[in-house]
Structure 1
């Protein structure tokens, strides 16, 4: 019995499984806030300190103005989402003729099964890894995915993306906080590669067991070292609380792990309920393709953690869902 037959028996039309629940909305907002707010607080304290140093009469005006400027920029970009300059900013392009034919055919099949209007979403090809959130109505599929997947596998990828959007992606506020937190995130990300290169050079000269232990310890030390400039700057403003302020993004990243895993499993569940469980599992097993994974679309946090479930865990949940659907299925 194929997953498509099971899905048809349990979810005729697919509308029920493509409906956004209140829990999905709440989870999406919690994930966004945990990802962004701790680092936004760090950025705000730094801007407040800069306002004090510049002698501004109302130092809070600097962090407030920066946030409002980022929000206005986000509103402008999202309202101009399909204009040429905005597309360059998002790092996407329109599909070529052959790509469009393949994408539109696959997307219409998925939309029909899910019971959503195909015209409610537009299809795009990412051409740059800029890690920008795109508006929820824009679905992106890489050219590499188009080349390497069969028609059914491509539909599985699109169904998975639909599952993420059904849950609510809070893309606008991700975009705003991505720009708001960019200075402090950029400082730490810019320092990390040089430290990593130095550690890798040492690790290559060590035996294999010692190399792994050294790499793990060096990565931890590297994260501490790149955080020192920010901690030092905020200590001048808030004293010893600066350490806690910098640790909060790391604790939030750990708290995100079960939430992002749950969101990923929900997207996989929708694809499975629409009949694409087998194809999605096949993609996750393929070593030549990056899995369609829940990766935060914007670098919102100074934390280097990327909370995402392992492909094996996703495959296990897909199998469990297929078994559950099979138990429900009652042949005529």
Structure 2
């Protein structure tokens, strides 16, 4: 099917020239369309048809067409940078030599001495000004260490009872009174005059002077206040010694050395006294002294028997080998008869010293724990460090006296030691030295 071209638009007559000359700026009047009964239908213009231009509208000028380059011009490039001429050196001007000035070098500052033990700036200084004090209802207790100590002294007690019963035969019918008096003598451990005699004659302690009491009593009040213990129930004593040490004796005695009192800051002195108070509170002091007292007759009898045996052995050796053999058989038969009659009880005495030493070491750890629980763990660790250094100096002195031969500690001596070693005690304090979460 052939597409016909669209009809051309109708042509309108030109406006009169007079109207164009009179008003060039007004649009020209267009002739009225003839009256027809119905407007003719014009076909729609094609979208590609160009709209008629107004005769008075000038056509806009077209922009000039400039030539465009498809590719930028290639400029010559150089791979090597241009060589720069060397910069001229500045002229050297004559300079006047300046005199050398030597400043005095200050001498190195001397290390500051550590604070004195009584200086409040010392890191282990504690305040002793306390107001109200809460006293605990339970002042003492008997822990497992004290009970174990008493049980271990039982074989010694039975041997002492045998010795006292043999001695009571001298008194005939009144011998049982002698045995009862010995059994009741254990109460003297808690008698104040007997304690004073024990501290003065056996432990070599003395009463403190007024100046020493002014040094000890504020620290002791702080220790007992933290523990909730009535401090006036105990007596403070001093030992004239240049070593760092302290002792808890009988039922009411706390003794410190002169070195500990004068050379330690009050915080470390409080740690030492809190350790000794732990022995009293736990029952270690009175149980050890009571066991030692009831074992004393057996100890004396053993020393007498050993001395007599030594004398008899030297006498038998003076005769001949036959005398030595006879003496050995006699002593062996007597020991066998004693062991058989006592159901092997004397054999336990051979192992008791090792068991007592182990219980004593445990008591020391419990006393350390008591002092650390009162807040003296850092101070107690410092005291243990000083004790360790003191022991090292003693070992070095003994080594030098032996010509440089080191002192070797035997396993038996370690088993019989009454105190734990430094590293063991410090290990048990770590729980109190570490910061709490």
Please give the range of the TM-score, normalised by the shorter of the 2 chains. Answer: 0.5 to 0.7
Aligned: 1:141 with 2:141: no
Residue 14 of structure 1 contacts residue 273 of structure 1 at CA under 8 Å; is this kept in 2? Answer: no
Quote the residue 2:433 is aligned against.
Answer: 322
Aligned to 2:107: none
Select the residue among 31, 34, 45 that pairs with 2:149: 31
Structure 2 residue aligned with 1:81, among 193, 212, 237?
A: 193
Partner of 1:45: 162
Residue in structure 1 matched with residue 47 of structure 2 by the alignment = none
Residue in structure 1 matching 2:374, options 261, 271, 274:
274
Instruction: Identify the residue that residue 113 of structure 1 maps to in structure 2.
Output: 226
Q: Secondary structure at the match of 2:284?
A: coil
Corresponding residue for 2:266? 151
TM-score norm. by structure 2 comes to 0.48
Q: Determine if the alignment matches structure 1 residue 65 to structure 2 residue 178.
A: yes
Residue correspondence of structure 1 range 89-128 to structure 2 within 5 A: 89=201, 91-126=204-239
**What is the alpha-carbon distance in structure 1 between the residues aligned to residue 259 and residue 341 of structure 2?**
47
SS in structure 2 at match of 1:81: helix
Q: Structure 1 residues 305, 231: closer, same or farther in 2, change over 3 A?
A: farther
Q: Which whole-Å CA distance do the structure 2 matches of 1:98 and 1:230 have between them?
A: 58
Partners of 1:232 and 1:126 in 2: CA distance: 48
> Which structure dedicates a bigger proportion of its chain to helix?
1
1:239-290 per-residue CA deviation (whole Å, 9 max, x = no partner) reads: 5356933321232333445543333222111211222112211221224657
Instruction: Summarize the Cα distance change of 1:278–1:27 in structure 2 as closer, same or farther, 3 Å threshold.
Output: same
* Aligned equivalents of 2:367, 2:154: Cα separation in 1: 25
1:205-216 map, 5 Å? none
CA distance in 2, matches of 1:230, 1:72: 34
Q: What corresponds to 1:200 in structure 2?
A: none
Q: Residue 311 and residue 188 in structure 1: after superposition, are their counterparts in 2 closer, same or farther (change >3 A)?
A: farther
Q: Which residue among 163, 168, 178 is the counterpart of 2:292? A: 178
Shifted more, 266-275 versus 141-150: the winner is: 141-150
Q: Deviations over 1:37-61 (max 9, x none)?
A: 1112222334445667x69579xx5
Between the aligned partners of 2:332 and 2:240, the Cα distance in structure 1 is 36
SS of 2:249 mapped into structure 1: coil
Following superposition of structure 1 onto structure 2, how do residues 258-269 of structure 1 map, counting pairs within 5 Å? 258-269=358-369
Structure 1 Cα separation of the partners of residues 215 and 298 of structure 2? 41
SS at match of 2:146: helix
On the 8 A contact 1:71/1:176 being kept in 2, the answer is: no
Show CA shifts across 1:91-112 (max 9, x none): 4321012211111121122122
Cα-to-partner distance string for 1:216-250 (whole Å, 9 max, x where unaligned): xxxxxxxxxxxx999876655x4535693332123
The secondary structure found in structure 2 opposite 1:284 is: helix
How many residues are aligned here? Answer: 257
TM-score normalised per structure 1: 0.61
SS in 1 for 2:238: strand
Instruction: Indicate the residue corresponding to 1:166 in structure 2.
Output: 281
Contact residue 152 and residue 279 of structure 1 kept, 8 A = yes
Gaps of 5+ in 2: 1-122, 125-132, 242-246, 311-328, 392-414
Shift of residue 307 of structure 1?
A: 4.1
Structure-1 separation of matches of 2:208 and 2:332: 45
- 1:39 touches 1:249 (CA, 8 Å); kept in 2? yes
Counterparts of 1:118 and 1:28 in 2: how far apart (Å)? Answer: 22
Q: Is the 8 A contact 2:163 2:297 kept in 1?
A: no
Q: Following the alignment from structure 1 to structure 2, what is the Cα–Cα distance between the partners of residues 230 and 158?
A: 49
Instruction: State the alpha-carbon separation in 1 of the partners of residues 385 and 236 from structure 2.
Output: 26
5+ residue gaps, structure 1 = 5-12, 196-227, 291-303
How has the CA–CA distance of structure 1 residues 272 and 95 changed in structure 2, closer, same or farther, with 3 Å as cutoff?
A: same
